[in-house]
């Protein structure tokens, strides 16, 4: 056979490479991620956790700001002024250590008779330039507990943010578990539907042969075909559910919906031992969401302390070093030392209103905390009961599958012997499919309820399951 060389023009060559590249993309294998890898990816890329970490950074910055209030405030300034105002001009000359007798109008003084004369040099001075260079330090000595309250408040906010970040982290883990196990559950439904489709197609083929032999009536074949189409619809629904679960997992992981993704082995959270009362006590002590609210309550208590500081005197010290010169320089050095004690004797009830407002905010948080504690206690009991129910349901559904398989075998024999109807046969097959689907649903529910119990206890981590 004679071969011919393949010659492609530039546009054809690029088109061929485009087709090959597209084929490569579509044939790229999906990344298979285990549950631990999914959690790691979600914790690294989840937007909600990024916001939680930002809140923690804000709280840490707030503490640094509050602690800075205890330190002296040092300011350095340079001020320039030019004035011919009589008082200011004379004062500026004094600050520059440059006042003379002539500035008092000494040249116009000729004796007691001139005491009533207004000296021009004093009342109508020439403009004076002054450059004031100043370093000033202010140190609060006593603030009525305001600075201490701000620091306590900031520290409580940091603890609250840390606990809040832990709570958000475990919420993400729970959501990842739901989506991850949702993929496995959907695939199990797909498998059930595929088995049902194979059996239904076999029924159609068998009944079609029996119809040719005159053993069954045509309505039996029609019923079998309807059953087959119904199973195919359920298969399509299961496949769509699988695709949706994978999309949800991609969203939690921060991945593009078009990125190929597969999941690793299933996760089976172990049952927690202990009585409900013990688990409730453990949840009330360790639940990060509750601990975050408790620290917010402590911050509110510190806020009351800050508001009450306005009822007490304030004491501070000041030290200043400055230089005054006609030009920018450091001549005419002087210093000032001082202290200030101030007490708000009357403000029309402003401070008392602030105290009452802070106390009311604290009372609101205390009520919300009590409500949240009751909710967590209920969540623990509910998850514990439903976990027990789900475990029993798994055993029951597995037993139901065994019975349904045996029942279907008997019905098939009876149908083949002409003893029963196609309706009974299809009903037995549907019962088996439903029993298998029930096992899938029960196992998924068991995993989610056990994970929900761990979430309430604040112990939902991949290495703890």
Q: Which residues pair with 334 in a beta bridge?
A: 322
Token couple for 373? 């504690």
The CATH number of residue 304's host domain is 1.20.1600.10
Q: Could you tell me the residue range of the domain that residue 365 belongs to?
A: 32-70+145-311+349-464
DSSP 418: T
Q: Is 410 domain-assigned?
A: yes
Q: In this predicted model, what pLDDT tens digit does every residue of 18-47 receive, in sequence order? A: 433 433 344 445 689 999 999 999 988 777
In whole angstroms, what separates CA 194 from the centre of its chain?
A: 40
419 located within any domain: yes
Q: Which strands, in side-by-side order, build the sheet including 128-142?
A: 73-83, 128-142, 314-325, 333-342
Kindly state whether residue 136 falls inside one of the protein's structural domains: no
- The answer to whether position 371 is within a domain reads yes
Look at residue 224 and tell me if it is in a domain: yes
Mean pLDDT score, 221-242:
92
Dump pLDDT digits (tens) for 405-459. 999 999 989 888 888 888 888 888 889 988 999 999 999 999 999 999 999 999 8
> Does residue 89 lie within any of the structural domains?
no
Task: Report the domain count for the chain.
Answer: 1
- Evaluate whether residue 343 is within a structural domain: no
Q: Does residue 90 lie within any of the structural domains?
A: no
**The whole model's pTM is what?**
0.74
pLDDT digit string, tens, across residues 131-158: 999 999 999 999 999 999 999 999 999 9
Tracing tokens 């890329």 back to the chain, one arrives at 45
Tell me which H or E stretch contains 298. helix 288-308
């Amino acid at each position: 056979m004679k071969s011919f060389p393949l010659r492609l023009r530039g546009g054809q060559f690029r088109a061929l490479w485009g087709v090959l590249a597209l084929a490569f993309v579509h044939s790229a294998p999906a990344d298979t991620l285990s549950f631990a890898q999914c959690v790691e990816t979600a914790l690294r890329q989840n937007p909600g956790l990024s916001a939680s970490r930002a809140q923690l950074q804000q709280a840490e910055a707030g503490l640094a700001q509050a602690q800075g209030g205890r330190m002296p405030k040092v300011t350095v300034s340079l001020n320039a002024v030019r004035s011919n105002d009589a008082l200011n001009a004379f004062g500026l000359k004094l600050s520059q250590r440059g006042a003379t007798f002539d500035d008092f109008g000494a040249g116009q003084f000729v004796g007691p008779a001139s005491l009533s004369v207004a000296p021009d040099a004093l009342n109508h001075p020439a403009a004076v330039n002054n450059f004031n260079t100043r370093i000033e330090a202010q140190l609060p000595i006593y603030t009525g507990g305001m600075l201490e309250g701000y620091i306590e408040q900031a520290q409580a906010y940091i603890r609250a943010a840390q606990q809040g970040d832990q709570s958000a982290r475990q919420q993400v883990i729970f959501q990842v578990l739901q989506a991850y196990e949702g993929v496995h559950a959907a695939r199990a439904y797909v498998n059930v539907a595929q088995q049902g489709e194979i059996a239904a197609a076999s029924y159609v083929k068998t009944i079609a042969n029996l119809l040719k032999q005159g053993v069954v009536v045509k309505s039996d074949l029609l019923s079998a075909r309807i059953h087959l189409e119904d199973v195919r619809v359920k298969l399509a629904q299961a496949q769509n559910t699988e695709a949706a679960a994978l999309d949800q997992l991609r969203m939690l992981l921060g991945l593009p919906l078009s990125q190929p993704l597969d999941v690793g082995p299933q996760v089976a959270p172990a049952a927690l031992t202990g009585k409900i009362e013990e688990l409730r006590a453990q949840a009330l002590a360790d639940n990060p969401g509750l601990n975050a609210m408790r620290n917010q309550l402590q911050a509110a208590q510190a806020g009351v302390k800050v508001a009450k500081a306005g009822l007490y005197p304030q004491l501070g010290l000041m030290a200043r070093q400055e230089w005054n010169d006609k030009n920018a320089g450091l001549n005419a050095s002087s210093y000032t030392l001082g202290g200030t004690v101030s007490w708000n004797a009357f403000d029309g009830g402003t401070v008392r209103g602030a105290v009452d407002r802070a106390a009311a905010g604290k009372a609101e948080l205390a009520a919300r905390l009590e409500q949240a504690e009751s909710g967590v206690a209920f969540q623990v009991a509910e998850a514990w009961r439903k976990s027990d129910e789900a475990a029993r349901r798994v055993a029951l559904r597995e037993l139901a599958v065994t019975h349904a398989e045996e029942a279907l075998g008997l019905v098939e024999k009876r149908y083949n012997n002409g003893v029963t109807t196609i309706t009974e046969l299809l009903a037995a097959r549907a019962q088996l499919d439903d029993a298998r689907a029930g096992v899938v649903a029960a196992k998924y529910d068991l995993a989610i309820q056990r994970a929900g119990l761990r979430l309430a206890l604040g112990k939902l981590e991949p290495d703890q399951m």
